[in-house]
Structure 1
Amino acid sequence: MLLAQVILFSFITKPAQKTAAIVGGVGFGIFIDEIGKFITRDNNYFFQPTIALIYVVFVLLFFAFRKLGETRFVNETEYLINALEISKEAILNDLDRNEKEKALSFLKESGQHDNLTRAFMEMFAQEKLADMKSNLVTKAVRRLQNFYLGIARNNWFIKELTVFFILQSLFLITNAVLVGKSFLLPTLASISLPQKLEILSSTIAASFVIVGVLKLRRKRLVAYYDFKKSLLVSILLTQVFAFYDLQLVALSELVFNIA
């Protein structure tokens, strides 16, 4: 984390910021891992709550940053400063389309009409900036977005999406029933508290899917919100207990839900 701060203080380019974010993230993960060793009896390096603890921290950070973004008020001066920050890329590197649009939006939101603001608006609106070079990541993201939009406009996509969520709900319910059944049988060892909570959260996620399927014909948009709630419960709640119980094995389930 110290190295990440040194990079941020020493360089002002966007690649430096991305590098610092990666280095700082690795350092933060190691920091959480070290803290976890003090709250467990197992002193092995990969003690059981490691992945779950790191994931819980990321979930809490997600909610904190989301709440901060909702309540944070940006004044006109800050809009102008943000636009000036983006303008550095016009000097150091080529801007991509998203950066150009974001900069123009910030300048408009700044509400200032002095000579400096007008000069920056003219710079971002120049013809030569319209044909900006894009790096491989930007091109890949743009192609992926176009591919998704092309699929989403087809009628069969809605049917396939419905089938997917129905199958997902059946999987969640089946998993909860099987684990719950083994818990109720007196011949088998009782399951742990994280497993109980995983069953409960899986049932809640499956319930949202069932409600969404029932609403799909009458209120399609509302049904999609129910599907979204199901995914959020699975990602932000069920996945915590899955990581606690299965460690890295649960990573494939997380990747599937996010994808």
Structure 2
Amino acid sequence: MTTTATAARPRRARRRLRLADGVWRLRMMTLAGIATVLITRAYLAATGYPRIGGGGIHIGHVVWGGLLMIAALTVALVWAGDRARVWTALLGGVGIGLFVDEVGKYLTTTNDYFYRPAAAIIYLVFAALLVLAALLGRDTAASGAGDASGAAGASGASERLAGAAQIAANGLVSGLTPDERDHATRLLDGCADQDRDAVLRLLAQAQHRDPGRLTRAVERVRGWTEWIAGLRWTETVVFVLLILSRVIVAIIFIAQAAGGEPHSTDAGAITASAFTRGASAVLTIAAVVMRIRGRRLTAYRLAKAAILLDLIVTEVFNFHDSQFGAVAELPHLVLAFVFISIWQRQVEAQTSPAS
């Protein structure tokens, strides 16, 4: 009978609790890694690729990358608090950047630092990390906005409670900024009274902390971006530049692929780019048509799909063919993606049932 009762008992689902600021720290680590690769490549090119060591010994910067990743793990395992997580993200990001920058040496028997696919591999690593951060951030937001009824609601409430408790515990070590305190308080909405009161007491014990320089800089940039996005002609300028750049570049690559571009270092990359850039151009044209017809949300989704296709797929081929010169194409794509994301969120907020 005991065995039967035990077998009939519902199996408890296992949940992996995420840190409240984990997605932001993942983005910070990735951006630190990207900056490290670009700075390292620029420095080595400017100094003629010096060798550190003598005789048959060469201390590559992958060694320093490994040491920095060890340092990041040490900080994460030993210390608690906001400052420790910042150092973990920065040290880990720089270490990953130094490590992955020498990927060409790991994949070739000749230890070729200039192995052509290396640039594409490096780009793909960091693009994958940013995509992962975006997916985790969207998943976290969706779980936090769930209905407070039923099993799903109970699960969401427990996760929000745990997130608020994490922020409160972190505040006991590092203090809390007003935004962090408000965020933790909002997470407690819908939680059981006794649980909410317990976490609120912890929040009350946390000392006040002014936002750091990095946080203030990020908030300032975010404010400027939203202000520019709200200007009258910004949307028109973004869509015009987006369609001109996507369509013109697609035509150029299709012509190169069809004519067998003699100056191309990799015809396969040119051909693949022609297909993906052509698809991106079609999506962009469709987005403009939808925007003219007044279907703003559909237009923004199509435009984001076109940009994501370029960022996730096309740029891999671009880095393989053009090496790190492909970086020049990224800023306007990223800016267009940011602006369109802002407008999409505004439209979704206006059309949501709760509004």
TM-score tier (shorter): 0.7 to 0.9
> Of 174, 177, 181, which aligns to 1:100?
181
Matched, 1:48 2:116: yes
Equivalent position of 2:225 in the other structure: 148
Q: The residue matched to 1:155 in structure 2 has which SS?
A: coil
TM-score, normalised to structure 1, is: 0.80
* CA spacing shift, 1:76–1:221, aligned 2, 3 Å: closer
Q: 1:190 to 1:258 in 2, by over 3 A?
A: closer
The number of residues matched between the two structures is 252
**Normalising by structure 2, what TM-score?**
0.61
Query: Residue in 1 aligned with 2:277?
Result: 202
Q: Which residue of 1 aligns with 2:58?
A: none
SS in 1 for 2:240: helix
Kept in 2, the 8 Å contact 1:86–1:99? The answer is yes
**Correspondence for 2:22:** none
Moved more, 167-176 or 88-97: 88-97
Residues 25, 146 of structure 1: alpha-carbon distance in 2 compared, 3 angstrom cutoff: closer
Q: 1:81 to 1:29 in 2, by over 3 A?
A: same
Distance 1:121 1:201 in 2: 51
Aligned twin of 2:199: 120
Q: Which has the higher contact order (CA 8 A, sep 6+)?
A: 1
1:246 to 282, 305, 322: 322
> Structure 1 residue 8 and structure 2 residue 76: aligned?
yes
C-alpha contact 1:170 1:206 (8 A) present in aligned 2: yes
* Mapped contact 2:104–2:114 kept (Cα < 8 A): no
The amino acid across from 2:199 in the alignment is F
Residues 94, 171 of structure 1: alpha-carbon distance in 2 compared, 3 angstrom cutoff: farther
The structure-2 alpha-carbon separation of the partners of 1:57 and 1:178, relative to structure 1 and needing over 3 Å to count, comes to same
Deviation at 1:196, TM superposition (A): 1.4
Determine if contact 2:319/2:326 at 8 Å carries over to the other structure.
yes
Change in 2 beyond 3 A, CA 1:108/1:6: same
| Structure-2 residue corresponding to 1:183 | 260
Aligned to 2:96: 28
Letter in 2 for 1:232: L
Matched residues in 2 for 1:257 and 1:188: separation? 26
Q: Cα RMSD between the aligned structures?
A: 3.2
Sort the Cα spacing of 1:42 and 1:98 in 2 relative to 1 into closer, same or farther, 3 A.
farther
Unaligned runs of 5+ in 1: none
Per-residue CA shift, 1:192-216, capped at 9, x if unaligned?
Answer: 2122112211111111111111221
The 10-residue stretch of structure 1 (242-251 or 32-41) with the greater mean CA deviation from structure 2: 32-41
SS of the counterpart of 1:227?
helix
Over 3 Å counting, the alpha-carbon distance change for 1:7 and 1:191 in structure 2 is: closer
Question: Which residue in 1 is equivalent to 2:87?
Answer: 19
Paired residue for 1:220? 296
Q: In 1, Cα distance between the equivalents of 2:126 and 2:264?
A: 32
Report if aligned partners of 2:72, 2:91 keep a CA contact under 8 Å in 1. yes
Secondary structure class of the residue paired with 1:216 = helix
Contact 1:49/1:244, CA 8 A, preserved across alignment? yes
Separation (CA, whole Å) in 1 of partners of 2:267 and 2:108: 16
The gaps in structure 2 that reach 5 residues or longer are: 1-68, 144-154, 336-355
CA distance in 1, matches of 2:265, 2:210: 60
Matched AA of 1:173? A
